[in-house]
Structure 1
Amino acid sequence: MRMTEIFTAVFINIKENKFKVFLTSLGIIVGALTIVLVIGIGKGSQANVEEQFKRLNVGTLYIMPNFGGKGTETLSLEDIEAIKEEASSVSAVTIVVNGSSEVSYAKTSTSASIAGATKDFQNINNLSVAQGEFITDAHNEKRKKVAVIGAEIATVLFEEKEYSEIVGEDIVINGKRYEVIGVLERLGGNMPGFNPDEGIIVPYDVAEKYIVGKRARTSIMALAKDIDYVADAADEITQILAKLHKGKSDDFRVRDAGSSLVAAQDSAKVMTLLLMSIATIVLIVGGIGIMNVLFVSVKERTKEIGILKAIGARKKDILLQFLLESVVISTSGGLIGIFLSIMIIPLMKYTDISVLPSFLGYGMGLVFSIATGTFFGYYPAMKAANLKPIDALNYE
């Protein structure tokens, strides 16, 4: 048989059994759709993780009170001064206290996140000032009521004003007036624990006294001189805190941003693999459905196979016809699944799930669909090809 005749026979049989073929391909459609969405979700998750951590230096260390600790030790400015003087592997260190408060300017008010920090907060978090200046040591020493505001807060409070017009204005935080000394460049996305775009940074002592109170939990952020010094910096900080707090090192925990990033990326990859496993199971179920339908088709077309062999059709012609039928069904299912994913992905923006479409997802969805059809279609096709002409012609 010529290839044109084989293809014609395949499409005639599919056309005559459209509804059955559609039901058969449902598993493949769902499987391909799932694969594209799973890869998209995986890429979206990884992109979110990278977005959250991209502004942090990989050598950043977090020192936080340990909620599982036996004591009630807190971190203070004395701790960061000791780290500055004694930790040779640390290039910058800041103490941070977070809170929230009502902020107003003229007749406009909003709720904002407040971070009390020292000047090194800018360097450690890679923050850039679009206009004005950042918090300095002098602001902390003199407990100046000054504030550096994020781009979103600037837009909400000052609307269409230029940044140059905002610097020097007074805003009210928790009933106290603060002079705006700087406006941060817009970053976009979130930074773990604090979003600079929607936040306000004030001197640490001022935040502790007037906004969050002395009972607020403080943390320390430190920056190692180089990525190779992260472990040394963590050890030095642990030893310094143990000495200052009389051996109560269990009250604090030290973590580095690089480990947090790797852990977050690993979690995203594990979730992607788990979802891929589910998609693979769906495809396998769809492939079993194709195999089942082809077995039934072989039974129903036994006499047709006998006639084809009697008029000269070779074993490989019959094998190819049934195998092509399986591949066409699975490929069509894969393409429909990909088309549906293209329609669904834009709708995912209305959920909390981030999905990034990719050619890798589309390609894998189609490849897995074709592979499933080929694998599960081969055995029924071989069975049809091995039928003896005389037995097939006598089959009732």
Structure 2
Amino acid sequence: MKLVELLRSVMLSVATNKFRVILTSLGIIIGTFTIIMVVGIGKASEQAVEDQYKRLSVESITITKVRGPGKEGTSSSKTLTKQDAMKMSELLNNVKSVGISTGTSSEVANGLTTSTVSIQGINEAYAAITHLTPMSGDLFTDEDGTMRNKVVVLGYNLASLLFDGNVDTAVGSKIMVKGSPYTVTGVLSRIGGSGGISSGPGNMGSTSADDMAFIPYDVALKYTTGMGGTKGGRGGGMVTIIAQANDINSVKPAIEEITKYIGEVTGSSDSYSVVDAGSTLASAQQTSSTMSALLIAVAAIVMVVSGIGIMNVLMVSVKERTREIGILKSIGAARKVILLEFLFEAIFISLCGGLLGVLLSVFAPWLLSFTEISYLASLKGILLGLGFSVITGIFFGYYPAAKASKLKPIEALNHD
């Protein structure tokens, strides 16, 4: 039997049992759609991780408090104060600059326009290390923090939201931050991604610098995060310290110096996590990849269940068409021909389900627009989804096809 005739036979069989085929392929459709969605979400997550750290220089070293068995979930060792952190650039040979930040979430408002955003309290060094540069106006200074001046620098998107797209009018205006008036001194250049900002666990919403508001560190401690900000997050925002090594070759010795210094100040060198930007990025990417792999595994289980459905339908089809198989064999059809006919039918069902799943994935960005989940379409996801669907059809279709091919002509013809 020629290939064209085999395919025509498959199409006739599918056309005869359209409703059954549609129900069978539903699982494949959902499975393929799920795989594409998972890969897309995973890609977006990995991209977000890269964006989060891309503005940090390779000489950057992040220092954060380690959670432990101490009071209120924090480590029982002494906490680094701002003064302790700032001394590192003076006392350590391989550290040239130290930035510090603390974050919380709060409502900001300009007239009737309000939004709950991440508020970051930072010093000048932190802004320099993370490359926060204004497109208009200026950044505040450490002196503003010392004088407790209520000044704020807005991310581009936040400024556009609060001032109806007229970001140029933001500088010099007053906005309300946590119920108090703050003067806008500058608007940051649009960054995209997360701009190297670590917002901490206490923040809500977007962690992109474009969507955040920045105020002097000391002002944040007094008016937004509270004095808990100096205690590694107790009662306020989590404190993040970023040190900058002299150069790329100084990163490792700088980490050793910082770890030793922390031990001397706090009594335990393990009370803080000290990692360079590259290690942090690699760890975050690994976590994101692991989550994506787990979700793909879940989607694969959906495919397996769908494959069992295909097998069941083909087993029923073999039983219904036993006499047809007997006739084909009696006129000389080879065992291989019978096997391929049923196997092609399984592949056709699964491939159609896969293609419909791909078509459905076109609407994924629209569906996810109602959530805060990011999605990045990729060819890898489409190929992976289609690959899983075809493999499912082959794997679960082979047994019924092989069973059909082994039927003896006499028994098949005498079947009722």
Q: Work out whether the TM-score is over 0.5.
A: yes
Instruction: Report whether the alignment pairs 1:254 with 2:274.
Output: yes
What amino acid maps onto 1:220 in structure 2?
I
Equivalent in the alignment of 2:229: 216
Q: Which moved more, 1:28-37 or 1:103-112?
A: 103-112
2:23 counterpart residue number: 23
Compared with structure 1, are the counterparts of its residues 386 and 214 closer, same or farther at alpha carbon in structure 2 (3 Å cutoff)?
A: closer
Amino acid at match of 1:233: A
Aligned with residue 294 of structure 1, among 306, 309, 314: 314
Please provide the CA RMSD for this pair.
Answer: 3.4
SS in structure 1 at match of 2:186: strand
For residues 325 and 107 of structure 1, the distance between their equivalents in structure 2, rounded to whole angstroms, comes to 62
Residue equivalent to 1:186:
190
Q: Secondary structure at the match of 1:216?
A: helix
Aligned counterpart, 2:367: 347
Distance 2:48 2:223 in 1: 35
The question of 1:237 aligning with 2:258 is answered: yes
CA distance in 2, matches of 1:185, 1:28: 46
Structure 1 letter corresponding to 2:93: S
Deviation at 1:214, TM superposition (A): 4.8
Deviation larger for 180-189 or 196-205 = 196-205
Supply the distance in 2 between the matched residues of 1:348 and 1:141 (Cα, whole angstroms): 44
The 3 A distance-change label for structure 1 pair 387 and 345 is same
For 2:152 and 2:5, how far apart are their aligned partners in 1?
Answer: 80
Q: Provide the C-alpha distance between the structure 2 equivalents of 1:310 and 1:11, rounded to a whole number of angstroms.
A: 23
Deviation at 1:143, TM superposition (A): 6.8
Residues 151 and 185, structure 1, Cα contact 8 Å, conserved in 2:
yes
* Structure 2 gaps, min length 5: 69-74, 200-206, 231-238
CA distance in 2, matches of 1:169, 1:34: 47
The amino acid across from 1:364 in the alignment is L
**TM-superposition CA deviations, 1:116-138 (whole Å, max 9, x none):** 43322122112122123334466
- 1:96-245 equivalences under 5 Å are 96-98=101-103, 114-136=119-141, 147-155=152-160, 163=168, 167=171, 180-190=184-194, 191-193=197-199, 196-205=209-218, 207-208=220-221, 214-217=227-230, 218-245=239-266
Bigger drift between 136-145 and 323-332 goes to 136-145
| Percent of residue pairs bearing the same amino acid type | 44
Do residues 381 (structure 1) and 401 (structure 2) align?
yes
Distance 1:376 1:64, change over 3 A: closer
The amino acid of 1:27's aligned partner reads: G
Secondary structure of 1:223's aligned partner: strand
Contact 2:160–2:167, Cα closer than 8 Å, also in 1? no
State the match for 2:94 in structure 1. 89
Task: Identify the residue that residue 321 of structure 1 maps to in structure 2.
Answer: 341
Unaligned runs of 5+ in 1: none
What is the CA–CA distance in structure 2 between the aligned matches of 1:367 and 1:94, rounded to whole Å?
A: 48
Matched residue, 2:300: 280
Q: Does 1:76 align with 2:96?
A: no
> CA 1:71 to 1:332, structure 2 compared with 1: closer, same or farther past 3 Å?
closer
Cα distance between partner residues in 1 of 2:106 and 2:18: 64
Given the superposition, is the C-alpha separation of residues 111 and 387 from structure 1 closer, same or farther in structure 2, using an over 3 Å criterion? closer
Question: 1:64 deviation in Å?
Answer: 3.5
Per the alignment, do residues 170 and 248 of structure 1 end up closer, same or farther by CA in structure 2, a change over 3 Å counting?
A: same
In 2, are the aligned partners of 1:79 and 1:241 still within 8 Å (CA)?
A: no
Contact 2:62/2:274, CA 8 A, preserved across alignment? yes
Report how far residue 152 of structure 1 moved.
4.2
> C-alpha offsets along residues 46-98 of structure 1, whole Å, 9 cap, x if unaligned?
22322333333344323334453224534123531x31123233232123344
Residues 77 and 95, structure 1, Cα contact 8 Å, conserved in 2: no
Distance 1:123 1:11, change over 3 A: same
Computing the radius of gyration from Cα coordinates, the structure with the larger value is 1
Does the CA-based 8 Å contact 2:134-2:189 persist in structure 1?
Answer: yes
Counterparts of 2:353 and 2:114, CA distance in 1: 55
1:206: how far off? 5.0
TM-superposed CA distance for 1:350, in Å, is 0.7
Find the aligned partners of 2:299 and 2:329 in 1 and give their Cα distance: 39
Please state whether the residue corresponding to 2:363 is helix, strand or coil: helix
**CA shift in 2, pair 1:53/1:10, >3 Å:** same
213-222 or 328-337, which deviates more: 213-222
Structure 2 CA distance for partners of 1:176 and 1:242, relative to 1, 3 Å: same
Q: Which moved more, 1:251-260 or 1:6-15?
A: 251-260
Cα offset, 1:222, TM superposition? 0.9
Q: Indicate conservation of the 8 Å contact 2:78/2:265, yes or no.
A: no
CA distance in 2, matches of 1:343, 1:386: 44
Separation in 1 of the partners of 2:115 and 2:327?
82
Equivalenced residue count is 393
